[in-house]
Structure 1
Amino acid sequence: MKALGRVLALALLCHGVIAGPSGLPAEQTRAVRSAPRKLHGRFLHITDIHPDEFYKVHSSTDEDGACHRGKGPAGPYGAETSDCDSPFSLVNATFDWIAANLKDTIDFVVWTGDSARHDRDEELPRSADQVLGTNTWIADKFAHLFADEDGTGMTIPVVPNFGNNDILPHNILLPGPNKWFQTYLHIWRHFIPEEQRHSFEFGGWFHVEVIPNKLAVFSLNTLYFFDRNAGVDGCANPGEPGYKQMEWLRVQLQFLRERGMKAILIGHVPPARTESKKLWDETCWQKYTLWMHQFRDVVVVGLYGHMNIDHFLIHDSEEIDIAALSGSSEWGIREAMEDDLSVQGASDYLMELRQHWAKLPPPATFKGEADGVNEDGKRRKGKKRKDPWGERYHLTLVGPSIVPTYFPTLRVFEYNITGLEHVSIWKDIQQGGLQNTTESGLSQKHLELRQFSTEAESQVDLDDITSAKKKKKPKKKPKTPVHDPNLNVPSPPAKGSPPGPAYSPQPLTLLGYTQYFANLTHINNLTLTDATIQEDGEEEGWWDWLLRWRKGKHGGKKPASPYPPRPREFAFEVEYSTFEDRIYQLGDLTVNSLVRLAVRIGERVDNAKNERKGEEEEEVEDEDSDGEIEAGKKKKKRKKGRKGRKGKKRRKRNETWLHFLKHAFVGTLEEEELKKFD
């Protein structure tokens, strides 16, 4: 009878007699679903999923267990703050949540790599079948999640990207064409446009017009820039895949400029570079920074993963060293950054960023008509401001991960769609409604012939790039020519052209993002024994995370009950939103907005040492205030109300820096723990 009832209900539903899932009659529900889809001005960034088919609930998070063996605090949805990878339950729950909460409100997805487990367990070494197997599984989940009603295509584009763990051995990728590109071409067959398959087979890079004729997302193969990839050698030599990828990017961005389009660049390994550490080969970093400066009217932002830490990078065109582009300059020694930073290592890295930001000149502040731009968007004539839009900089936003190195995290960006509400969307092309051309008037064969051309474009005077440095300190005439014959410098924006969407609010400018996280401590709902007592009598705590292998915040504990765990309902919740964060105070994600934030984060770093020195001197003077004070020193005057107190001056903490650190570690560190890094 129940089966008969279900059949009857299905028949009534199909004829519109009863309501569909939306509460409307089924006929109206179908009409709503078949209505033309419009832009929502939102997209999803997801990265570093790291699914682990061997994960075992209630296993040990110690290095010997790796969440595969033993007894310990591995939760049903993952072991937060540990080096264990993601259980399949976390991956499934994440996709279920996206389906229920984001699927119909986003325009595209950027997926920045690492969809295989780490190779950390010596007892379970990875195989190619495992690496490709989990990548296939994740790709199919995206394809099914965003499949159209008839199952023949997808409703929105998903743009995938290579992670350093998506190959074997990890980090090492030889020049293409190779078997990895051939295999991933099939795995990502739903995502790579037909006309981009040649470039993908050649080097693993491609782009997708996520908004036809308006916005393209470029998937860069950052493994060819990665300093730890011993199979390649930078971006200076024309025979290297890094060089060829940069040439491809240069030509393609020029095509977009000619078509009036904009670009978002995505990759796995970010171009992180501090005083002592780096992730990219220096020649690649230099060329990338030059490219971004020259194409500042085209590129909106760079989005990356890999590091698990929520943060951003500000790249300064004044750090471009033309000689370094060919590998002929000494730029200082920077060690390769570790693949997986400990909390301490991450804090040291973030502190170096902070020290760099402390030296940034504050950007110009302007309102209304003082912004130097006419109503038609062109720069006004008259007295010129010195870089009012911050065009010497460009941005990289590094997203935190799904793998619970901290807490699983997703990021949803919002962008300006003013004037784009009725443009044709990506799905229109898939249905054959529009001609899929990448440059008006050029055949695809013509584009391929030009794509890897090494013929120089109109030569750009490099004095434009280095003029500021030359004014400060004249340089001696170099022994070798400045113009490397292998260096094709892109043309800059046309003189008088308005600033691009990365700098000035306009269509496609990033407005902000909402970050979602899954609080696994709450969701896993584990009942555990007390922490293991160390020989010195202290319990394990946050400092145990500083070890090479991180046991996590529950490291050393064991299940208190032999019964299976009873987790709470899985859900992502808002960690923070840039639209509402009162400390960040970000009106949008333009360059000047992030530079202002960086300057505030960096406040008092340079003076911290002097302040501490001053505090010591004040203490000495106060201790001798009743007696004779050393010659040459002035007696310190006490303020009213402080009589009898020590003279030690407490330096006020930088709340913006602590807030930044809190988000960097996705809220897994308590305030007292964060203060240890101030």
Structure 2
Amino acid sequence: MAPLKALQWATLMLAQLPFTALATETQAVLQPPNDPGSERSLATSQRRLRGRFLHITDLHPDDHYKPHTSTQENIACHRGHGPAGVYGAETSDCDSPMSLVNATLAWVREHLRDEVDFVVWTGDSARHDSDEEIPRHNNDILSMNRRIADAFVDTFSDETGLVVPVVPTFGNNDIYPHNILMPGPNDILRTYSSIWKPFIPEAQRHSFEFGGWFYVEVIPHKLAVFSLNTMYFFDRNAGIDDCVHPSEPGYKHFEWLLVQLDSLRSRGMKAILMGHVPPARTSGKQLWDETCWQKYTLWMHQYRDVIVSSLFGHMNIDHFLLQDAKEIDMALIQASAESQFSVRETMDEELSIQSSAGYLKELRDDWAKLPSPVALEQGADRSKKRGRGKKGKDKWAERFQLSLISPSVVPNYFPSLRVFEYNITGLEDNPTWVDTAREIQLNEEEVSHQDEIPDVGELKRRQTADLEIEKKKKKKKNKGKGPKPPKDPHLRLPEPPAKGTSPGPAYRPQTLTLLGFTQYYANLTYINNDLGGSGGDDDDDDNDKASSRGWNPGKHKGKTPKHDKPQPREFRFEVEYSTFDDKIYGLDDLTVKSFVRLAHRIGQASKKTEESFVQDNSLDDDDDEVDEHEDEYDVVDDDDDSDSEMYDESAKRGKKKKHKNKKKARKTWLHFLKHAFVSTKSKDELEDL
């Protein structure tokens, strides 16, 4: 890196450190679109924390969509005659009509705006390039994103202005050409800085224009939501290479993230990470460059005391991912990208139902290899044949990290929204985002004066220098202990939680822990009222045979609308399911431990489950202790009739338990698939998949 560029980058990184009260306040909030001089800006907000937030993703609005047109490939609900409904063509690859986008945001404004504390909006707010007669252009993409951003401002504003912070990120279809984003600064990032001006804190505009990343303190001094630019991790982005070369934007992104998370840790704050493309990585396929996945997993593990959760979109299917810290390869993180690693196929950008099923089966097969949650808590690595393995209890499953992936508004299945609930114990009277935003706005001219920047920057440089001196002392003191210094002289690795630190909100229930979510969906088969049937489990149609590759015309292919003119029913979202009362999932909360238990149970439905795992992990998830007869299996003497009888009886019990667990696992697996496809598939169809 050239000296000048290195200095510019260092200055940029330091500019994000909120060491002073001034910097902290300017970074803490967004700028609501009020007139700074108006009397209403002086008013104190009556809003209080509700302990809920909204995740909305992948709207894919298409202003060329026309009802009663064909869902066939290269037509995309733009022409011809076919089953496209007023509010969208569910289960097809057609994009969202503007009627669906408008109705969704209107429903959110009426039912959710005053019930949520903030909004996570994970991108793809433009249509796909799926019609050769109407190709996408850059101006069209940016114009639509501006329309949608304005609609979000309207949705989450009242007569006083914006009252709910919205944290956006862009998806792979929000740029032109799609998937390709060159390193910043560039025109795309500058344009989105303008489009998202109401959402990006003033103090972070320069950072955003440099790399497309920023964060918002959605609960001032308590919780920040980080908008990650996953386009710099995305394996299909031909404009970048990896996350290990200092010249790459992915490398710089992780440097920035490290600085910010260090700062939050020192302030006693927590963070939610969000982005568009998730870190999906199965045994055969993945979405991120491997070096980026490695760094992300390390960062998540080292900041497990700070990070509450991570949320993504892009894939349209409702599911979750577990990253395993045991798969971290420091050679890939510390050295150049020439290091060897297992090659996985790049995952298809758009997943059909069949390819989605294949991907989910790969997840299930990978989960089959998870250690028993009970064994994990007991401190025995029981994946080793008959061995006790290392003693090292993982009561809170801190070895793993969790990524939650929400289904989309675009009706590749049924349009969906997700509302999370989180623990606000002790925060009931905490100032809200809008309170702090208005306070900052009143002092906007004073706190944004450019003459203050050199003083703030100098203080940050001094404190950073002191921090580096302390780290050098610590390294010298611990010389000869732990891993060798990184090969990359520029690389700075995150520190783990301080010794004795309690598990963070992602692992142990406490303030800011995610308690659960409610999944909403709009049953378009019923609402469009064009083709009969109620949709979901009650609509088992022979035409619902999606191709395993390419375009999906949807379950209504070949059908003719029963009305000459559309006669839709009233649009609404309804509850598809809630983790609070889903008895099959049985999630006590959304901690990592809860999902490790769920994943392990699903994994036992895998046909590839090895016998050793079946034996060693055959304990019910509800068991509190290891099987009391386990030691007896290890000391059986064939010459002793009593021991032999005891073994036979124990074997029978083990076989019965194994059968019971397999049945339970299969039921959970089918339930998982049902939700993955947002209740658009019947049980028989899920069995066929």
TM class, shorter-length: 0.7 to 0.9
2:175 equivalent in structure 1: 167
Measured in 2, the distance between the counterparts of 1:676 and 1:610 equals: 26
Label 1:59 to 1:457 Cα distance change in 2 as closer, same or farther (>3 A).
farther
Label 1:60 to 1:328 Cα distance change in 2 as closer, same or farther (>3 A).
same
2:584 equivalent in structure 1: 583
CA drift of 1:65 comes to 1.8
Measured in 2, the distance between the counterparts of 1:185 and 1:88 equals: 24
Q: C-alpha deviations, 1:125-149, integer Å up to 9, x for none?
A: 1011210111111100111122242
2:157 equivalent in structure 1: 147
CA contact (8 A) 1:247 1:452 kept: no
2:671 equivalent in structure 1: 659
SS in structure 1 of the partner of residue 546 of structure 2: helix
SS in structure 2 of the partner of residue 341 of structure 1: coil
Structure-to-structure mapping, 1:540-619, within 5 angstroms: 541-561=543-563, 563-605=564-606
2:278 equivalent in structure 1: 270
1:513 to 514, 517, 521: 517
1:292 to 290, 300, 318: 300
Percent identical: 60
1:415 to 398, 404, 422: 422
Q: C-alpha deviations, 1:312-341, integer Å up to 9, x for none?
A: 001010000011123243221101111101
Structure 2 residue 133 is matched with structure 1 residue 123: yes
Structure 2 residue 530 is matched with structure 1 residue 526: yes
CA contact (8 A) 1:528 1:557 kept: no
1:183 equivalent in structure 2: 191
Measured in 2, the distance between the counterparts of 1:59 and 1:450 equals: 64
Structure 2 residue 267 is matched with structure 1 residue 259: yes
CA drift of 1:607 comes to 5.7
2:365 equivalent in structure 1: 355
CA contact (8 A) 1:44 1:106 kept: yes
Measured in 2, the distance between the counterparts of 1:544 and 1:396 equals: 28
Measured in 2, the distance between the counterparts of 1:489 and 1:262 equals: 19
Q: C-alpha deviations, 1:341-366, integer Å up to 9, x for none?
A: 11111111111111111111122499
Letter in structure 2 aligned against 1:354: R
1:138 to 133, 140, 148: 148
CA contact (8 A) 1:244 1:452 kept: no
Measured in 1, the distance between the counterparts of 2:225 and 2:182 equals: 24
Q: Select between 452-461 and 103-112 the one with higher mean Cα deviation.
A: 452-461
Measured in 1, the distance between the counterparts of 2:297 and 2:122 equals: 20
Structure 2 residue 294 is matched with structure 1 residue 282: no
SS in structure 1 of the partner of residue 554 of structure 2: coil
Label 1:457 to 1:358 Cα distance change in 2 as closer, same or farther (>3 A).
farther
Label 1:450 to 1:243 Cα distance change in 2 as closer, same or farther (>3 A).
farther
Letter in structure 2 aligned against 1:64: N
Measured in 2, the distance between the counterparts of 1:268 and 1:560 equals: 38
CA drift of 1:70 comes to 0.3
Structure 2: 5+ residue stretches without partners: 1-39, 380-390, 534-540, 613-659
Aligned alpha-carbon RMSD (Å): 3.3
CA contact (8 A) 2:353 2:546 kept: no
Q: C-alpha deviations, 1:623-644, integer Å up to 9, x for none?
A: xxxxxxxxxxxxxxxxxxxxxx
2:238 equivalent in structure 1: 230
1:388 to 390, 395, 417: 395
Measured in 1, the distance between the counterparts of 2:437 and 2:212 equals: 22
2:506 to 490, 494, 502: 502
2:17 equivalent in structure 1: none
2:438 to 426, 431, 434: 431
Measured in 2, the distance between the counterparts of 1:254 and 1:34 equals: 32
CA drift of 1:196 comes to 0.8
CA contact (8 A) 1:54 1:68 kept: yes
Letter in structure 2 aligned against 1:589: L
Measured in 1, the distance between the counterparts of 2:469 and 2:290 equals: 22
Letter in structure 1 aligned against 2:159: E
CA contact (8 A) 2:545 2:555 kept: no
SS in structure 1 of the partner of residue 308 of structure 2: strand
Measured in 2, the distance between the counterparts of 1:651 and 1:290 equals: 33
CA drift of 1:35 comes to 5.8
Structure 2 residue 164 is matched with structure 1 residue 156: yes
Q: C-alpha deviations, 1:48-75, integer Å up to 9, x for none?
A: 0000010010000001321001000000
1:192 equivalent in structure 2: 200
Measured in 1, the distance between the counterparts of 2:239 and 2:251 equals: 14
Structure 2 residue 468 is matched with structure 1 residue 458: no
1:111 equivalent in structure 2: 121
CA contact (8 A) 2:207 2:213 kept: yes
Label 1:502 to 1:443 Cα distance change in 2 as closer, same or farther (>3 A).
farther
Letter in structure 2 aligned against 1:551: P
Measured in 2, the distance between the counterparts of 1:277 and 1:191 equals: 34
Letter in structure 2 aligned against 1:666: V
CA drift of 1:451 comes to 12
CA drift of 1:455 comes to 7.4
Q: C-alpha deviations, 1:84-140, integer Å up to 9, x for none?
A: 000000001001110111010100000000000001111111011210111111100
Q: C-alpha deviations, 1:166-188, integer Å up to 9, x for none?
A: 00000000011111111111110
Measured in 1, the distance between the counterparts of 2:130 and 2:458 equals: 46
SS in structure 1 of the partner of residue 171 of structure 2: coil
CA contact (8 A) 1:402 1:408 kept: yes
Give 4+ residue runs of structure 1 displaced > 4 Å after superposition: 364-367, 433-438, 441-444, 446-457, 606-611, 649-653
Measured in 1, the distance between the counterparts of 2:302 and 2:609 equals: 37
2:86 equivalent in structure 1: 76
SS in structure 2 of the partner of residue 208 of structure 1: strand
Label 1:444 to 1:309 Cα distance change in 2 as closer, same or farther (>3 A).
farther
TM-score scaled by length of structure 1: 0.79
Measured in 2, the distance between the counterparts of 1:456 and 1:596 equals: 43
Measured in 2, the distance between the counterparts of 1:164 and 1:501 equals: 31
1:489 to 486, 493, 498: 493
2:647 equivalent in structure 1: none
Based on CA coordinates, which of the two structures has the bigger radius of gyration? 1
Label 1:34 to 1:347 Cα distance change in 2 as closer, same or farther (>3 A).
same
2:682 equivalent in structure 1: 670
Of the two structures, which has the highest relative contact order with CA contacts closer than 8 Å and spacing of 6 or more?
2
Measured in 1, the distance between the counterparts of 2:590 and 2:195 equals: 34
CA contact (8 A) 1:512 1:588 kept: yes
Measured in 2, the distance between the counterparts of 1:111 and 1:254 equals: 25
CA drift of 1:540 comes to 5.5
Measured in 2, the distance between the counterparts of 1:337 and 1:605 equals: 21
SS in structure 1 of the partner of residue 162 of structure 2: coil
Measured in 1, the distance between the counterparts of 2:331 and 2:431 equals: 44
CA contact (8 A) 1:364 1:389 kept: no
Q: C-alpha deviations, 1:360-402, integer Å up to 9, x for none?
A: 11224999xx99xxxxxxxxxxxx9612111111110000000
